[in-house]
Structure formats: structure tokens, C-alpha cells
Amino acid sequence: MTDKINELLRRVEAFRPKTAAEVEEFRIRVLGKKGELNALMEEFKTVAPELKRELGQQLNRLKNTALERINTLRAELQNAAADQTSEAGDLTRPGTAEPIGSRHPISLMKNRIVEVFSRLGYTVADGPEIEDDWHVFSALNFPPEHPARDMQDTFFIEKNPDILLRTHTSSIQVRMMERQKPPIRVICPGRVFRNEAISYRAHCIFHQIEGLYVDEGVSFADLKQSLLYFAKEIFGEQTAIRMRPSYFPFTEPSAEVDVSCNLCGGKGCAVCKGTGWLEIMGCGMVDPNVLSANGIDPQKYSGFAFGMGIERIAMLKYGVKDLRLYFENDVRFLHQFDTAF
Ligand code: DAH
């Protein structure tokens, strides 16, 4: 009897009908009242009791396979028939769903920062990622051999030390001053490159946003007020900023900007290492040497500049603890930002 069951099973599996009528015919022949399966069921009644268990299971499997196969074939042939009724196929059939992606948190943060500064009248400027020494260093008051060049580990293009991957978006300041007479008010997002070992807090590729404002009578007070507005827009109305004296070759005076820690409200916690403050950017008044190197009269004009890492701002705002997450593109990480902005 096992042989008979297996033989019918093989025929069910090999059945390749061309029309729905063939399927129906097959169904009656196999599963109908007087069909082959029922004949086997009759035979089953007569087998020895010790064989019943095993054979019963085989019969059940045969029945289920036959039912499933007939239903599938029926649906396939119906769909094919519908496809043939119009040139475009059956337009009522459900399509294949494409998984929906999301914007990268770095793009979202960049867009948000650009949006805040555009409300203050800034326009977006761009520059090349492969730069020359002049735009990245010399025009920004880094003389040759100046130790400040070591503040940023540079990738040089082999054989030509004049050509390099920009280490900061400050190079776009230079391109803007070359291109345009004051007033200049630009925000410059871009990718930057540094020869650093990759860890949770450093990467050899990351993103910065540079700001530059040059006009008659621009003061440090204007800088401070603009950055306070920015900090409140990004981290919340209750946010305070403080400035600490610092050094950059292209600004004088220079400062580091901190925002009050948005996790502990300034009381001190693990994220702000007990200080109540988080460092977010560097800034300062454009050094007169930089203005004159770029053909702008420092007697007539003054300006301020600032620069920040986009990854860092997003890390502080969203509590991302490992910079490498931004580069791995795991959708479980990326989707968390769908509703964050
Ligand atoms: N270029 C600096 C860096 O990459 C950031 C910076 C500091 C930019 C001060 C500025 C500035 O425009 O004024 O570390």
C-alpha cells in the first residue's frame, strides 16, 4: 500500500496542467468521492492494526499535499488568465512591497543646522573635497612649518604634497572670499578627512559645518548672539552657552563653545563628565591676516567664523555613544531617527 501512496504522491507533485479545467478534472480523479484517495482510504480499513499508524500518516500527508497543490495550481492559472485579459496584466493584483528606507541621521542633522542658519540670512556654499595647501592651510594663516598644521593629521595625495584631502570645511571660507566681496554670510556643510585611527570617538571621514560672516562692523557680540540662537534651536529653549578662550590660526580671538548639558540640565552627569557643559564647536573673529590674504581690506571689514562636527552635534542631541554607528548603516539604527526631526 505504501507503494501505491508514493506513486500517487509523485503524480500529484509532477502534475503540470495548462488550464483550470485540467486542474478540476485532476481534482475529481484524485480527491473526488469515487477518486483514488478514497479508494486508498477503503483499502486502509482492511490493513493490519499494527500498520495503521504509519499508513494513516502517509495517507494524511498525501491528502494535504494534493489539496495544497490543487489550490496553488488553481490560483496560478487564475492569475495567468487575468494577466492575459489586458496588456498591462491584472492591475488589481497586489504589487510587491519595496522596503522603505530612511534619511541618514547625518543628513537630517545637517539639514536642520542649515535650516536654522538660513533663518539668520545664511546661504549654503560648497567646495571641493580634494583641495590644495593654499585653501586648507596657507590662506588660513597656517604658515609653512607652523606647528598648528599638526593639529590635523592630513591625507596627502602621493607624489604631490600640495594636493590633499581637506581636513576641515574652513577651506570653503577661502573659496567664498575669493569668489565674493563682502557682505558674505554663508554656511558650508561638507565631508572632511583626517588620518586618524578609527574608534568610538574618531573616524577618518566625518562631516563639518562651517559658518562665515564678513561685513562692516561685525563684532564678537554678533557671533555670541548667533551661536546662542543656534544652540537654543538645536538643544532647546533652556540651553545656555559659554565661550572659553582657545587658539586657531585663522581666528583672533578664538574660542571653544560649550552648551549646557541637555541631559542633566547643567547639574553634572556622566555624559558631561560632571562639568554640566558639552563642547560643540570652535569659533572666533576672522584673523586680519586671513582677510588680507583673500583680498579683503581688514581696516574696512571684520567677520566671524565657526566650525562644528555634524556627527558630534547629533551624538550629543541623541545620545549616540559610538561614532562608528553612523557609518555601518544598520537599518535598526537608522530607523530610530525617522521621527526624531
Ligand atoms: N576648522 C576647525 C577644526 O576643524 C574648526 C573651526 C574652529 C572652524 C574655529 C572655524 C573656527 O571657522 O573659527 O577643528
Q: Do you find a cis peptide bond into 249, omega within 30 degrees of 0?
A: no
Q: Is residue 224 part of a domain?
A: yes
Q: Is residue 66 part of a domain?
A: yes
Q: Are residue 110 and residue 52 in the same domain, yes or no?
A: no
Residues with CB under 6 A from ligand 1: 168, 170, 210, 248, 251, 282-284, 305-307
Rounded Cα distance between 202 and 37, Å, is 70
Q: Is residue 94 part of a domain?
A: no
Of the residues 88, 123, 145, which one is the last residue of a structural domain? 88
Q: Are residue 136 and residue 246 in the same domain, yes or no?
A: yes
Confidence of residue 218 (pLDDT cuts 50, 70, 90): very high
Q: Which amino acid is at 234?
A: I
Kind plus residue range of the DSSP H or E element containing 189: strand 184-193
Q: Are residue 113 and residue 228 in the same domain, yes or no?
A: yes
- Output the domain CATH number for residue 167: 3.30.930.10
Rounded Cα distance between 199 and 105, Å, is 19
Residue 76 has pLDDT above 80, yes or no: yes
- What pLDDT sits at residue 281? 97
Mean pLDDT of the chain: 91
If you measure from the C-alpha of residue 215 to the centroid of ligand 1, how many angstroms do you get, rounded to a whole number? 19
CB 313 within 8 A of CB 233: no
Q: Are residue 123 and residue 76 in the same domain, yes or no?
A: no
Ligand 1 probe mutation, 135, 153, 168, 184, most atoms within 8 A of CB: 168
If you measure from the C-alpha of residue 285 to the centroid of ligand 1, how many angstroms do you get, rounded to a whole number? 11
Measuring from atom 12 of ligand 1, which residue has the nearest CA?
306
Q: Is residue 202 part of a domain?
A: yes
Residue 152 has pLDDT above 80, yes or no: no
**Residue range(s) defining the domain that contains residue 16:** 2-88
Q: Is residue 184 part of a domain?
A: yes
Give how many domains the chain has, as a whole number. 2
- What pLDDT sits at residue 340? 66
Measuring from atom 8 of ligand 1, which residue has the nearest CA?
307
- What pLDDT sits at residue 145? 81
Q: Are residue 54 and residue 111 in the same domain, yes or no?
A: no
Residue 278 has pLDDT above 90, yes or no: yes
Of the residues 88, 120, 142, which one is the last residue of a structural domain? 88
If you measure from the C-alpha of residue 296 to the centroid of ligand 1, how many angstroms do you get, rounded to a whole number? 20
Residue 330 has pLDDT above 70, yes or no: yes
Cα distances from 17 to residues 11, 45, 70, 314, 320, in angstroms, run: 12, 32, 10, 60, 58
Residue 79 has pLDDT above 80, yes or no: no
- What pLDDT sits at residue 341? 62
Rounded Cα distance between 83 and 116, Å, is 52
Q: Are residue 144 and residue 56 in the same domain, yes or no?
A: no
If you measure from the C-alpha of residue 209 to the centroid of ligand 1, how many angstroms do you get, rounded to a whole number? 9
Rounded Cα distance between 154 and 151, Å, is 9
Cα distances from 87 to residues 20, 79, 91, 328, in angstroms, run: 21, 14, 10, 44
Confidence of residue 119 (pLDDT cuts 50, 70, 90): very high
Residue 265 has pLDDT above 90, yes or no: no
Closest ligand 1 atom to residue 304 Cα is 13
Measuring from atom 13 of ligand 1, which residue has the nearest CA?
283
Q: Are residue 79 and residue 170 in the same domain, yes or no?
A: no
Q: Is residue 287 part of a domain?
A: yes
Mean pLDDT of 108-136: 96
Most confident of 72-86, 112-126, 131-145: 112-126
Q: Are residue 326 and residue 297 in the same domain, yes or no?
A: yes
Instruction: Count CB neighbours of 237 within 10 A.
Output: 6
Q: Are residue 201 and residue 289 in the same domain, yes or no?
A: yes
Residue 147 has pLDDT above 80, yes or no: no
Q: What is the CA radius of gyration of the chain?
A: 35
Strand partners, 309: 208
Buried b (16+ CB within 10 A) or exposed e, 10-49: eebeeeebeeeeebeebbeebbeeebbbeebeeebeeeee
Mean pLDDT of 299-307: 98
Q: How far is CA 309 from the centre of its chain?
A: 16
Q: How far is CA 274 from the centre of its chain?
A: 31
Q: Is residue 97 part of a domain?
A: no
- What pLDDT sits at residue 151? 67
Rounded Cα distance between 63 and 218, Å, is 87
Residue 83 has pLDDT above 90, yes or no: no
Residue 131 has pLDDT above 90, yes or no: yes
Rounded Cα distance between 112 and 126, Å, is 17
If you measure from the C-alpha of residue 322 to the centroid of ligand 1, how many angstroms do you get, rounded to a whole number? 23
Q: Are residue 148 and residue 243 in the same domain, yes or no?
A: yes
- What pLDDT sits at residue 17? 87
Rounded Cα distance between 112 and 107, Å, is 8
If you measure from the C-alpha of residue 106 to the centroid of ligand 1, how many angstroms do you get, rounded to a whole number? 19
- What pLDDT sits at residue 214? 98
If you measure from the C-alpha of residue 85 to the centroid of ligand 1, how many angstroms do you get, rounded to a whole number? 66
Q: Are residue 35 and residue 179 in the same domain, yes or no?
A: no
Ligand 1 probe mutation, 210, 254, 291, 304, most atoms within 8 A of CB: 210
Q: Is residue 99 part of a domain?
A: no
Mean pLDDT of 143-151: 76
Rounded Cα distance between 269 and 210, Å, is 29
Q: Are residue 31 and residue 59 in the same domain, yes or no?
A: yes
Confidence of residue 104 (pLDDT cuts 50, 70, 90): very high
**Least reliable range by pLDDT among 3-12, 73-82, 166-175, 208-217:** 73-82
